[in-house]
Chain A
Amino acid sequence: MSITPDQNKNRRVVKIAVIVCVASFLFGFRVMPPIYRIACEHIFGIKYENKVADGAKVAAFKEDDARLVEVQFVGNVNSALKWKFAPELFSVKVHPGVLTEAWFDASNLAPDAIVGNAVPSIAPNRASLYFNKTECFCFTEQMLKAGESRRMPVRFVVDPKLPADIKQLTLSYTFYNNELATKRLAAQEASTQPKS
């Protein structure tokens, strides 16, 4: 069967439609996640990345003695994780620009070692761009052996440029079971124990 002009036209439509489909698949899969991050950070002013604050930026902060901001702490544990986790102090009053340290206590109530990850959140969310952590247990995986307890520090500086109407902010952490890392750990222990 020879190709009639009609079939050529159909092929063109199919080609264009398939390109649209592939493009929209990639859009959902590869473009929307980064757009989401960009929209969060640059349009709505919500800090998306959980990373160490830039040291030079923090060092340049001037202490604002005239102003006191209350920072409250909340510790939550996801239902799939058998841990206890709570802040030592429920709130502190800090001067913006001053490096402050706060401690959280975590203990593993399960009979096995578990790796957990803490996910931080700042409320109100427009304050999140002004909250800088120089050190935090939430930057890394936390492994607790069965029954082990640990004090975990977070060191932070509130940016003096924090909007004046924000007088109180809440730093909350939720600990999740990092199932992959926990499994890896269990596998490692299983392979090392017979030797010892």
Chain B
Amino acid sequence: MANTAAHADDHAHDDHDHKPEGFLDRWLFTTNHKDIGTLYLIFAFTMACIGAAMSVVIRAELAAPGLQHVQPYFFNQMTTLHALVMIFGAVMPAFVGLANWMIPLQIGAPDMALPRMNNWSFWIMPFAFLMLLGTLFMPGGGPAGGWTMYPPLALQGGASVAFMVFAVHMMGISSIMGAINIIATILNLRAPGVDLLKMPLFTWTWLITAFLLIAVMPVLAGAVTMLLTDKFFGTSFFNAAGGGDPVMFQHIFWFFGHPEVYIMILPAFGIVSEIIPTFSRKPLFGYQAMVYAVASIAFLSFIVWAHHMFTVGMPLGGELFFMYSTMLIAIPTGVKVFNWVSTMWKGSMTFETPMLWAIGFVILFTIGGFSGLMLAIVPADFQYHDTYFVVAHFHYVLVTGAIFSIIAAIYYWWPKWTGRMVNETWGKFHFWWTMVFVNLTFFPQHFLGLAGMPRRIPDYNVAFADWNLVSSIGAFGMFLTPFMMIAIFAMSKKSGAIAPQRPWEGAHGLEWEVPSPAPHHTFTTPPVIKPGMLAHGDVSH
């Protein structure tokens, strides 16, 4: 078993794992990438539960026409906070957590490059969200102008505006530090022999995501700072009465916002590109094409932002440019989808739980991609804009895209983290339950949107009642899945089968060269790469 130098070294540590003794020393002051990864994942899961509870409030109100459970203003707070919590509190930290856990293991590094900063970037997050969620208990309530914070509506809130802006600043600082850390780790700490074009795709997608993060999070910080000064310091960046322009906010916001969309999906591409080859028992089809496709998507994400605002009254030339550049993204994305399918083609496939989630991702994410193409068509978008069709579209790419991939990653790497296998029957039940209810929730929203139901509205025409009820039933079914997840993983942690070092037959890569569970410190001396050890080691460049 001890087939590498690093491995032998790890065993030397096994008797005393060098874990800090006290609870605070272990978790609050930790600089260990695995512990910080765990913290991120627990935080993200907690936030996902809070965000899911908000979505249940929203769907309960929308289950029938008319107002029944909450007042419109509170409903608007729920839609706004649901988005902010899910985007900045659940999806992004979950990916950062996975990056913390897996990137050092995948590239043979002992830890992240800047461990102390790593600690800081995590521990800012809980405070940012305490501030953001605290607004719910303040006079005037939480932010209710939508997560996009468009002025002048967003500025009509009370104290919550300032709290929201500062919370966004803190989340931004946290993600930027996380991103810098990831870039430094990947560029500087790769074990000898792990060339850039031999890196696993999860690491690759995160490298590109981290570049997107440091390029656009400061733009968001600038935009919200201008909101803050407009509200409290008498500037007129977006204030029409003072000669400002509210449309300019939308341009700046979406210049951040569109790359942000890819920040939330590129690591998902990476995860799926790890899982599908494993369970197809074939190397990833078109490894280099996959890397270049991710890079092109990242580049294109900077020049398509105005497709979020086709109806602001842009000149025709602008609309055409943003329409065509948006449609161009379908090409690299299509390359990725076809490569995943080609990887499965004629492979000896088995359908363990992580593979089910990954295939679910490919199918449902593609549906979300297609509705995105429909939205990219300017004349059609005038009809779809701000309807439930948009809601259906971005939930297909974020829930069945990003969240599915995160769940797939947890099922895939859980044996490595804990040394225990997950019960396959329950894992598959979890998948099929989610598959049924997620589609029940979001597929009917396509119909509602095409029929003209507006988003962010607590009440609606009775004509929309039936599909809204279906969608709400789906949401209530979905709300059981976090609890299912807790039960499944608690069961595995307590009494799951002991996981071998390589729990999945077809898995390749350095993370499978360390024992399960991964010791507290791994690769304290760089591993010696042998042929066949890396999933993409044979790729020439």
Contacts and interface: CB of A to CB of B under 8 A. Distances in A.
A178 B180 CA distance: 43
A176 B240 contact: yes
B250 to A, nearest CB: 11
A139 to B, nearest CB: 11
A44 to B, nearest CB: 4
B214 A20 contact: yes
Interface residues of B, number: 39
**Interface core residue of B241, B251, B256, B313 (most chain A CB under 10 Å):** B241
Interface stretch (A29-37, A98-106, A157-165, A188-196): A29-37
Contact of A33 (B220, B240, B248, B314): B248
Nearest to A8: B188
A9 B188 contact: yes
A36 B241 contact: no
A86 B222 CA distance: 38
A69 B200 CA distance: 66
A24 B220 CA distance: 10
A20 B114 contact: no
A179 to B, nearest CB: 7
B256 A28 contact: yes
Interface string A8-19: 011001100110
Contacts, number: 98
Interface in A139-196: 174, 176-180
A176 B240 CA distance: 7
Contact of A28 (B114, B218, B241): B218
A28 B254 CA distance: 11
B318 A44 contact: yes
A27 interface: yes
Contacts of A10: 113-114, 184, 188
A90 interface: no
Contact of B183 (A13, A117, A179, A180): A13
Interface of B: 113-114, 176, 179-180, 183-184, 187-189, 214-223, 225-226, 234, 237, 240-243, 245, 248, 251-252, 255-256, 313-315, 317-318
Interface of A: 6, 9-10, 13-14, 17-18, 20-22, 24-29, 32-33, 36, 43-46, 50, 78, 116-117, 119, 125-126, 174, 176-180
10 contacts: A10-B188, A13-B184, A17-B183, A24-B217, A25-B221, A28-B219, A29-B222, A29-B226, A36-B248, A44-B317
